[in-house]
Amino acid sequence: AKARGKGQYQAFVAEMDSDFRYRQRLKSDLALAIAQDELKLFYQPLVDLGTRRVAGCEALARWTHPELGPIPPDVFIGLAEETGQISAITRWVLRTATAECVNWPKSVSVAVNVSARDLRGEDLAMHVSEALEASGLAPGRLEIEVTETALIEDREGAAAKLELLAANGIGIALDDFGTGYSSLSYLHGMAFSKLKIDRSFIAGITTSERSLKLMANVARLGRDLDLVLVAEGVETEDQLEAIASHTTIDQVQGFLFGRPMPADETRELIASMNQA
Ligand code: C2E
Ligand code: CA
Ligand code: CA
Ligand code: CA
């Protein structure tokens, strides 16, 4: 038993070591990936529940490593936050997403995720205006998504930065709502225009009365605060039906309407869903 314990420990150390080296390698390769255009931007539709048209699309970064294959965004975005490369990535996402959105019908907006580090640094406002200027996109068609976790570190500073963007007509969405510790406290003193209810809430609404009630009440609260409400992670017709008949949710996003997809497919989907 002792021998096995030791063997397990060594395997654990080896794994830690290889995990460390794996992360180091990804960090240095990520610099190349950014420089060599290896990152791709995918888009996932947000569908208006009333009209069943695409109201906007969320831009989601993809990285296929030439040898290691697809790297999950949670992984490489996390690494990029550690190294500071996130600023360059966010800049690229903003540029790419706004340039793509100008090709869509005027009623369709684009949403870009920003991280904690973006909100701490001084580049975000500059990168946003640079992207809007280069693309010619109206500020009202750009939305910035922030999570509660990204707001924890420097709440006042982040609030001021988001306030400035909002004052310029840019939409601000609170992402993954309900997963943080103090969700409700973020709703005052922040310039949000949209609330995206985390998919962990949606997962239970067809089986649990409590989940459905929770969802309906969050939606009612958001409605009272003049926020646009989004249900994230809608995967089935039953979930959609429950949301439509029991809540005041405005928009739905999830695999039911489309997985994140390349720009050309996004254009086709918008064209087919939004035709007169
Ligand atoms: P997120 O911002 O909450 O993005 C939504 C995630 O949920 C996406 O995962 C999307 O593919 C997934 N999703 C959408 N609909 C469904 C559904 O019906 N069921 C399930 N199970 N999942 C669904 P993805 O693309 O893997 O991204 C993961 C996270 O990585 C994002 O979570 C976001 O926090 C981060 N991320 C992705 N792209 C970027 C980016 O360009 N910049 C930053 N800062 N973060 C990004
Ligand atoms: Ca998001
Ligand atoms: Ca989310
Ligand atoms: Ca998330």
> What's the pLDDT tens digit per position in 150-205?
888 888 899 999 999 999 999 999 999 988 766 677 787 788 999 999 998 898 99
Q: What number does the ligand 1 atom closest to the CA of 41 have?
A: 41
73 Cβ contact list (under 8 Å, min separation 6): 60, 61, 62, 63
> What's the pLDDT tens digit per position in 70-83?
999 999 999 999 99
Tokens of 215: 């969802």
Q: Whose atoms come closest to the Cα of 60: which ligand? A: 1
Instruction: For the beta carbon of residue 258, count every other beta carbon within 10 angstroms.
Output: 19
Q: What number does the ligand 1 atom closest to the CA of 118 have?
A: 44
Residue 229 Cα, ligand 3 centroid: separation in angstroms?
Answer: 12
Q: For a pocket test of ligand 1, which of 60, 128, 142 has the largest count of ligand atoms closer than 8 A to its C-beta?
A: 60
Cα 74 to Cα 10, 206, 228, distances in angstroms: 28, 28, 26
Q: 3-state class of 49 per DSSP?
A: coil
Query: pTM of the predicted model, to two decimals?
Result: 0.94
- Label residue 6 by pLDDT band (50, 70, 90): confident
Buried b (16+ CB within 10 A) or exposed e, 45-74: bbbbbeeeebbbbbbbbbbebeeeeebebe
Q: Identify the residue whose C-alpha is closest to ligand 1 atom 29.
A: 74
Residue 60 Cα, ligand 1 centroid: separation in angstroms?
Answer: 6
Residue 148: per-residue pLDDT: 86
**C-alpha R_g of the chain:** 20
Q: Whose atoms come closest to the Cα of 261: which ligand? A: 1
Distance CA 272, CA 53 (A): 9
Residue 173 Cα, ligand 3 centroid: separation in angstroms?
Answer: 10
Give the binding-site residues of ligand 1, using a 6 Å CB cut-off: 44, 60-61, 72-74, 77, 93, 113-115, 175-176, 199, 233-235, 253-255, 260
Question: How many residues does this entry show for the chain?
Answer: 276
Q: Identify the residue whose C-alpha is closest to ligand 1 atom 2.
A: 113
Question: Which DSSP symbol is given to 141?
Answer: G
Pair 54, 47: CB distance under 8 Å: yes
Closest of 171, 53, 52, 168 to residue 108, by C-alpha: 53
Q: Whose atoms come closest to the Cα of 197: which ligand? A: 3
DSSP state string for 244-265:
HHH----EEESTTT---B-HHH
- Quote ipTM for the complex: 0.98
Residue 182: per-residue pLDDT: 65
Residue 262 Cα, ligand 4 centroid: separation in angstroms?
Answer: 20
Residue 206 Cα, ligand 1 centroid: separation in angstroms?
Answer: 23
Where would I find the beta strands (DSSP E) of the chain?
39-48, 54-65, 69-71, 109-113, 142-147, 171-177, 194-197, 228-231, 251-253
Q: Identify the residue whose C-alpha is closest to ligand 1 atom 14.
A: 254
Tokens 């946003």 appear where?
128
Distance CA 222, CA 212 (A): 15
Longest dimension (CA), the chain: 72
Residue 21: per-residue pLDDT: 87
Higher local confidence (pLDDT), 12 or 69: 69
- Label residue 36 by pLDDT band (50, 70, 90): confident
